[in-house]
Amino acid sequence: MSNGAAMKVRRLNHAVLRVRDLDRSLAFYHDVLGLEEIARMGKVMAFMRAPGSENHHDLGLASVGPGAPPPNERGVGLYHLAWEVDEIESLREARAALERYGTLSGTSDHGATKSIYGYDPDGNEFEVMWMVPREHWGEYENAAPTRALNLEAEIARWGAKTSTA
C-alpha cells in the first residue's frame, strides 16, 4: 500500500489485445460487436471504435503473428473484457453472432447484469452485458451472484421499455 492519496480514474477508455491475424480479428470484432475500424498502422496495429463512442478508439489490436501461443487460462493475465449494450435485446444478437462463429462460451445472470460470454479467434474471452437499471438493483447492490440466464424471460421482463442509455 502507498502512503500517498490514490489517483482517481474515471473509467476504462480502451483495451489493446494481442492477436495472431489482424484482418481476421478486425472482421470478427466488426461482425460480432459492430466495432468499426478507424485507424491502422500497416499489418501490425489497428484501432476500432463502437458506434456512438466518444473515445478515439475502444479496442486496439496488435498483431503478434501466427505462431503466438494462446492465452493461458491458468496463468496471470486478463480474464475477460466486458462490453456493455444499451438494450437487453442486443444480448440475443450477441449470442447469435457467437454461435455463428462457434465461440459462445456461456451465459450468466449476475443479478444487476445479464451476460453472454464468448471467445475471439485467438482465445481472448469477452463478455457482452446489459446492466439492469440501478433503481432495480436492490439485493444486488453489493452482490454478484452467478446463475443460469433465461435470456428470453429477461427480455420479456426488461425489453423495449427499458434502456440504460
> pLDDT confidence of 72, banded at 50, 70, 90?
confident
Q: Give the model's pLDDT for residue 10.
A: 84
- Span 79-165: which CATH code? 3.30.720.110
| pTM score above 0.85 | yes
Calculate the average pLDDT of the chain: 93
Tell whether the model's pLDDT for residue 161 goes beyond 80. no
* Structural domain boundaries in the chain: 12-65, 79-165
Please say whether the beta carbons of 154 and 88 come within 8 A.
Answer: yes
CATH code at 12-65: 3.10.180.10
Residues 6 or more apart whose Cβ sits within 8 Å of residue 105: 98, 117, 118, 119, 125
Average pLDDT (20-35) is 97
Query: What pLDDT digit, counting tens, does each position of 98-151 carry?
Result: 999 999 999 999 999 999 999 999 999 999 999 999 999 999 999 999 999 999
